[in-house]
Structure 1
Amino acid sequence: MGLAIPLQGPGGIFGPSCEAIAELCRRQTNQSGVLGRPIEFEVIDAGRRPDEVARDVRSLIDAGRIDALTGWHISSIREAVAPITQGRIPYVYTSLYEGGESRAGVFCAGETPADQIGPALAWLRDEMGLRRWHIVGSNYVWPVRSARAVSAYARALGLRVLSTSFSRFDTQDFGTILDTIEHGTRADGVLMFLVGQDAVRFNRAFARRGLDESLIRLTPLMEENMLLASGPDAIRDLYVAAGYFRSLPTGHSLDFVGDYAAAFGPEAPPLNNQGESCYEGITLLTSLFAAAQDTSLEAVLRVSEGMGYDGPRGAMELRSGHLKQTIYLAKADVTDFDVVASL
């Protein structure tokens, strides 16, 4: 399997967790193998430019070195890679994303705005009275398209989007955006579509301005590495909507935490959503191969609809190329997340 995960750039903060959790899944799966064969990974650095990642994926497929591709990476990488895998090998994209992917053979294991943002905005409106929002995001596919979707949710929910600001990916200075939030029309909250180190920098700058004293933040992408890197003084009233948190109190999740700790010990990279999504990607592929009794794309497509399994996120079911899953709303604590609702 090709394992495309970020080893540099803003998303590089997730890389060690993705590698460790994928290795746990590999060890567990290889106790019996898949169709009598062990899993091995070709790790692809998805923290580089999309064209560089796409070139490596094409080379690996042409050389017959991978039967499938999976891993957590941003949408611009998916847009570059999917045309290369299409018609050749199964590709499980594990990240949360903006929705709309429909290419045959591309299976999406992550959350979408319809599952995360709309229900979370409704919960915050009903439970906390939040109605006016600023949107902040990086200027690429996932944040831009997700922000468009939020406009539709806002109209349906009776909310107002006061401003929408995008910064370049891997930005160092959020001063202008924070000026807009601080001096513009007063909002109740800020909706963040920022990745990795970008979100860390934004959280720190947001708190330095004292904006966390009056504004709630909501994001679909904040995990344990980002929480620790932001620091305890920069996470006040920060809410996250996602399909997995290390703190989920379900039986499958608790078993997963125990297996990870037993395999790698207390010094392991934090167990997080992005790394766990790689576990889902590998599990989905192996389940598809087992059901098809073949690794070919044609055989996998014949058995994919309705494929289901239980994992750390709970019951998962593949419908129209997307894994259906429960989404949770959590509030950031010093080192973890307190789950407050199932959306």
Structure 2
Amino acid sequence: MFADPSAFTVALVFPQQGPAGIFGPACELCARLAAEEVNRDGGVLGRELRLIPVDGGAAPREVADRVEALVDAGAVQGVTGWHISSVRQALAPRIAHRVPYVYTALYEGGEDRAGVFLTSETPHDQLRPAMALLGLERRVRRWFVVGNDYVWPRRTARAAHAYARATGARITGEAYLPLGTHDFTPVLRRVERSDADGVLMLLVGNDAVRFNRAFAAYGLDARCLRLSTLMDENMLLASGARATADLYSTAGFFTSLATAGTLDFHGLYARRFGLDAPSPGSLGESCYEGVLLLAALLHRAGTPDITRIDATAPTVSYEGPRGHLHLHNNHVRQRIYLARADGLDFDVLTELRP
């Protein structure tokens, strides 16, 4: 693939396979919607913004090889999208110093490479206040962590130990499972024996769906709430209403939020893709945010040069479904909400205080 000088081309890295593939279609549609909006407003640096889909659900090294090859060929001048932290860790060292990289997935925190900009939630602002509130309102004192076995769940769980101690609670057990796990019976037995009253779910996509079903079938939903920092409406739908009792989620976006920004976004999305399109959810919608932030960074810098983009990033802001947002230390500052599953939708309970 060769560079097209008439376009500013961006690699859109999102999952098309594996556990996270469940929300891949929403990621692509939301990014396309944002790109069309940017192009209606004149494009990027006087050029049309184009997206090249890259499967972020492949093995991390494969994804990094593919994107680096596109950058080497001059075929892409930027990168954005939702993909797990293992992919980001493989990809960022290869391309972040060369082209702007806007990472849209919630993650474990700590990313500080030049040229990497982050739109989504971190445990300090997302998990910490949610655990504190559930400790206060639901008297959760014993948490059990169930996560996939890679960097995001493990580092988030490490932070959760400190958050639990701060509220007089504790982590009573942890289990980490390979991506693509189907049998959760051994873990459910451990949860039962631990006498936990809260389960912190750090599972991706279809793994979380299967866990929800198994958790309810085992009867643990009657005695133990669940809290997830990665749970959207597509995952609720796949889980089924009978598997979502007492399930909480925390995020910067829910489809049921009735703010001016979310209502405008839903109208645009429905008109463009129809009422039968996948629910955008927080994970798909993050890709809309990623394209908008990338365009705002380039507009402010007036150039694709990474040094200039880094220098002007602290003055960048943009308006999106999550409100009027700005950057602090290359992370978007945003409101975070706690919601409880109500069948196949979320009931947003409150905005969490940092």
Same fold (TM over 0.5): yes
Asked whether the 8 Å contact 1:122–1:157 carries over to 2, the reply is yes
Asked whether the 8 Å contact 1:306–1:319 carries over to 2, the reply is no
Amino acid in the other structure paired with 2:318: Y
Q: d(CA) in 2 for partners of 1:118 and 1:226? A: 23
Amino acid in the other structure paired with 1:97: Y
Q: In the TM superposition, what is the alpha-carbon distance from 1:16 to its structure 2 partner?
A: 0.5
Structure 1 portions without partners, runs of 5+: none
Q: d(CA) in 1 for partners of 2:315 and 2:119? A: 14
Q: Which residue does 2:254 correspond to in 1? A: 245
Q: Describe how 1:134-283 pairs up with structure 2 within 5 A.
A: 134-182=144-192, 184-283=193-292
Asked whether the 8 Å contact 1:57–1:84 carries over to 2, the reply is no
Are residues 1:320 and 2:300 paired? no
Q: In the TM superposition, what is the alpha-carbon distance from 1:86 to its structure 2 partner?
A: 2.7
Q: Describe how 1:45-124 pairs up with structure 2 within 5 A.
A: 45-124=55-134
Amino acid in the other structure paired with 1:89: V
Identity in percent = 52
Amino acid in the other structure paired with 2:200: L
Q: d(CA) in 2 for partners of 1:28 and 1:190? A: 40
Count of residue pairs brought into register by the alignment: 342
After superposing on structure 2, the runs of 4+ consecutive aligned residues of structure 1 that deviate more than 4 Å are none
Structure 1 stretch displaced more, 292-301 or 95-104: 292-301
Are residues 1:30 and 2:39 paired? yes
Q: d(CA) in 1 for partners of 2:96 and 2:255? A: 33
Asked whether the 8 Å contact 2:245–2:343 carries over to 1, the reply is no
* Structure 1 counterpart SS, 2:209: helix
- Post-superposition CA distance 1:215-244 (Å, at most 9, x none): 100010000110000000000000001111
Q: In the TM superposition, what is the alpha-carbon distance from 1:185 to its structure 2 partner?
A: 2.7
Structure 2 portions without partners, runs of 5+: 1-9
* Structure 1 counterpart SS, 2:50: coil
Amino acid in the other structure paired with 1:263: R
Q: In the TM superposition, what is the alpha-carbon distance from 1:67 to its structure 2 partner?
A: 0.9
Structure 1 stretch displaced more, 153-162 or 67-76: 153-162
* Structure 1 counterpart SS, 2:48: coil
Q: Describe how 1:123-134 pairs up with structure 2 within 5 A.
A: 123-134=133-144
Task: Report the TM-score, using the length of structure 2 for normalisation.
Answer: 0.95
Q: In the TM superposition, what is the alpha-carbon distance from 1:195 to its structure 2 partner?
A: 0.4
Asked whether the 8 Å contact 1:89–1:105 carries over to 2, the reply is yes
Q: d(CA) in 2 for partners of 1:129 and 1:296? A: 51
Q: d(CA) in 1 for partners of 2:137 and 2:43? A: 48
Amino acid in the other structure paired with 1:101: E
Q: d(CA) in 1 for partners of 2:245 and 2:81? A: 31
Q: In the TM superposition, what is the alpha-carbon distance from 1:127 to its structure 2 partner?
A: 1.5
- Post-superposition CA distance 1:30-65 (Å, at most 9, x none): 112122211111111000000100100110000001
Q: d(CA) in 2 for partners of 1:141 and 1:98? A: 8
Asked whether the 8 Å contact 2:45–2:299 carries over to 1, the reply is yes
Asked whether the 8 Å contact 1:138–1:193 carries over to 2, the reply is yes
Q: In the TM superposition, what is the alpha-carbon distance from 1:310 to its structure 2 partner?
A: 2.1
